[in-house]
Every structure is written in structure tokens, then in C-alpha cells.
Amino acid sequence: MFAVIDVAGQQVKVSPSERVFVPKLSGEAGSTVIFDRVLLVADEKTVKIGNPTITGMAVKAKVLGHLKDEKVIVFKKKRRKGYRVRRGHRQQFTQIEITDIS
């Protein structure tokens, strides 16, 4: 069984007892998060597709922790002008574990 959910504008395919990295969520480590924007649910026999979401479906997950991705360097330069800018960015993620699809 698996489901496709909408998390902060991104579609994520999840199944029970799976660990997934999603964009940072507000919630402490150990807390439970419920995603009610379920776009698709599939079993071995049936597939339910939402229009745009499936009413009455929810995915429960446990927050494992918050962490950052690797640093991405943004380097800008204009030749012959002496203009050089070097900036870095680290995207923040939340690791969740899917506990129930119901």
C-alpha cells in the first residue's frame, strides 16, 4: 500500500513504516503530524485518485528530527568589472516516519 501526499506544495510518495525527508515542518521531534491532502491511494487491488484530494483520507507521521541539507554555493561574477559575490545556502528538512495511512 502506498499514498501520494501533498507536503508544502511538493508531492511525496509514502508507504507505512517508511522514513522520508520533507520541507521543514513546525513540530518538535517525537510529535505526530497528520497530512490530510492525500492525492492518491493504491492497494494491491484498487487505486483511488482524488479530484484534487481524497476526502476522508489522512496519513499520520511521526517527526524524527530537523536537519539541514548540504551547502549549495551561489557564485556570481561579471567579467572585467571586479564584481564577485559568493554566497551559500543550506535547505532545512524534517525527517518523518509514516505510521498509518487511513
DSSP class of residue 82 equals T
Q: What pLDDT, on a 0 to 100 scale, did the predictor assign at position 27?
A: 87
| Nearest C-alpha neighbor of 50 from the set 14, 4, 9, 1 | 4
* pLDDT tens column, 8-52: 899 999 999 999 999 999 989 999 999 999 999 999 999 999 999
* pLDDT tens column, 41-84: 999 999 999 999 999 999 999 999 999 999 999 999 999 999 99
Distance of alpha carbon 41 from alpha carbon 39, whole angstroms? 7
Distance of alpha carbon 14 from alpha carbon 4, whole angstroms? 6
Q: What pLDDT, on a 0 to 100 scale, did the predictor assign at position 57?
A: 92
Distance of alpha carbon 36 from alpha carbon 7, whole angstroms? 10
Distance of alpha carbon 5 from alpha carbon 1, whole angstroms? 13
